[in-house]
Amino acid sequence: MRIALFGYGKMGKMIERLAVERGHEITAKIDLGSDKIDFSNIDVAIDFSTPDAAFANISICLENNTPVISGTTGWLQKMDDALKLCKETKGAFIYASNFSLGVNVFFELNAYLAKMMNNLSQYKVSMEEIHHTQKLDAPSGTAITLAEGIIANTHYQKWKLNERVDEEIPIFSKRIGDTPGTHTINYNSQVDSIEIKHTAHNREGFALGAVIAAEWILDKTGIFTMKDVLNLG
């Protein structure tokens, strides 16, 4: 498979290593200041760039009939436009706030726990996410997906960054050293607390998930999620 990398930073470089190990070829590395892209030499694109760049990168791939996987976070305000463009171009697109198998299992666990806790009004939910100090967006995309999982299964309707407001899910974002990504959900009552936590030890799980998604989407048309790719739930 001929892969184009949009964004050749921490994730782009790790995806390159894992993709080559799995027998794929990297035929384009597009980063800041890159020249014209030769789409005739690309089977699938993988975008791990920046919040400002993701939508343009995804758009150019869809306009050139190239399936695209995006893991970039912090650009959700443009998501509806990307989905519309994918439908118009009859393209193929997967966005995931987190491509790791472990976090996708954790998403399912989070939804199940939220459903159980919904009628237990003595427990108040909160979330904490910890990432490295270079991260541009807050809260993390993963934290937003987790909050959406709680909202879909409880009476909560909104999340709030770094603040406790009645009836909203507080998400506390911390930036510490090189932390690859840690997410904790806590239900606290006067007498006890229940906590679930996912800790990434490095970035390999994210990168491998993105390569697996790229292998999976080849020759497909439509808008998919990692749940489709991993056959979870």
Ligand X SMILES: O=C(O)C1=N[C@H](C(=O)O)C[C@H](O)C1
Ligand Y SMILES: NC(=O)C1=CN([C@@H]2O[C@H](COP(=O)(O)OP(=O)(O)OC[C@H]3O[C@@H](n4cnc5c(N)ncnc54)[C@H](O)[C@@H]3O)[C@@H](O)[C@H]2O)C=CC1
From the list 181, 172, 169, 194, the residue with the least C-alpha distance to 112 is 194
Count CB atoms within 10 A of the CB of residue 197: 11
Report in angstroms the alpha-carbon separations of 7 from 19, 50, 148.
15, 8, 27
Binding site for ligand Y (CB under 6 A): 6-12, 30-32, 48-50, 53, 57, 71-74, 96-99, 206
Nearer to ligand Y, 125 or 198 (CB): 198
Instruction: Determine, following the binding rule CB under 6 A, whether residue 149 of this chain makes contact with ligand X.
Output: no
Instruction: Determine, following the binding rule CB under 6 A, whether residue 97 of this chain makes contact with ligand X.
Output: yes
Which among 15-23, 75-83, 111-119, 134-142 is the span making contact with ligand X, rule CB under 6 A? 134-142
Instruction: Determine, following the binding rule CB under 6 A, whether residue 110 of this chain makes contact with ligand X.
Output: no
Q: Which of 10, 115, 135, 160 is catalytic?
A: 135
Size of the residue set binding ligand X (CB under 6 A): 10
Known catalytic residue: 131?
yes
Instruction: Determine, following the binding rule CB under 6 A, whether residue 98 of this chain makes contact with ligand X.
Output: yes
Q: How many residues does the chain have?
A: 233
Nearest residue (beta carbon) to ligand X: 181
Give the DSSP letter of residue 155. Answer: S
DSSP line for 60-129: HHHHTT--EEE---S-GGGHHHHHHHHHHTT-EEEE-S---HHHHHHHHHHHHHHHHHTT-TT-EEEEEE
- Minimum distance of ligand X from residue 12's CB (angstroms): 12
Compute the chain's Rg from CA coordinates.
18
The SS3 of residue 27 is strand
Known catalytic residue: 87?
no
Query: Residues at the annotated binding site for NAD(+)?
Result: 21, 71-73, 96-99
Active site positions, annotated: 131, 135
Query: Residues at the annotated binding site?
Result: 21-22, 71-73, 96-99, 132, 141-142
